[in-house]
Amino acid sequence: APRPPPREGLDYPGRMTISPGTNFDDPRFRDDERTPVQRMRDGDYYIADDELSALTRRAVRLLSLYEQAHPTDPDIARYLLAQVLGQVGESVDIRPPLRVDYGYNISIGNGSWVNYGLTVLDVAQVVIGKDVLIGPNCSLYTAIHPTEPGPRRAKWESAAPITLEDNVWLGGSVVVCPGVTIGENSIIGAGAVVTRDIPANCIAVGNPARVIKNLDPTTPRTLEAAGVGVIPHGHTGEQE
């Protein structure tokens, strides 16, 4: 279902609907007839209930079967993956283990490849474009918890979507935070923590991730790993 129009609010402007200092125990919440699942899908604050817990358990069970089938039966593995994720493109390979909250909020485009150990907290939509490369042990976090201690203790939470546009490459152990879009062709160096949008056609590294180099996709160039922390083949890495 399409998400509602952006609205003002806490931590991620344009996504949340509650301003800092709001009392969560007020009629706007007590009198809301929506279920927690509906509130979550609308991008509002919610408290997880049995229905959401059941959806998580379903995803965990199916991904356990996916992990068993992946090495020996690719057809069964792909069928199981399609039962968990919202959309799976052609020629997609995700090496298990894969960990998700729900799965159905995730779409992944044609030709994308994911190495071992991806974690996706898909409370909001996570869009992975075409020909995306994701290194081992990466994490995509859409979940948001209130900054006020009281609502956080009461287990209120919400989320903001993540988008990886076509041909993005995430190095190993990259963390992408709620509300982030990484532009087409961009590369995120290993170990980076991406807290803000990264434009297309650049290399970003560090915590928080910052752009260190712009890429020109129209200029032919030799294959290289320079600038993303990879030592070229045959080079010891020592100073010459």
Residue 225 burial class via C-beta count within 10 angstroms: exposed 0-12, middle 13-18, buried 19 and up = exposed
Which residues contact residue 104 at a Cβ distance below 8 angstroms, ignoring those fewer than 6 apart?
55, 84, 85, 86, 122
- Kindly report the length of the chain: 240
233 annotated active-site? no
| DSSP structure string for 5-53 | PP---SSSTTT----TT--SSSHHHHT--S-HHHHHHTT--B---HHHH
* Cα–Cα distances in angstroms (integers) from residue 108 to residues 3, 8, 133, 232, in the given order: 18, 29, 11, 30
Q: Which of 70, 145, 233, 235 is catalytic?
A: 145
- Give me the active site residues, please: 145
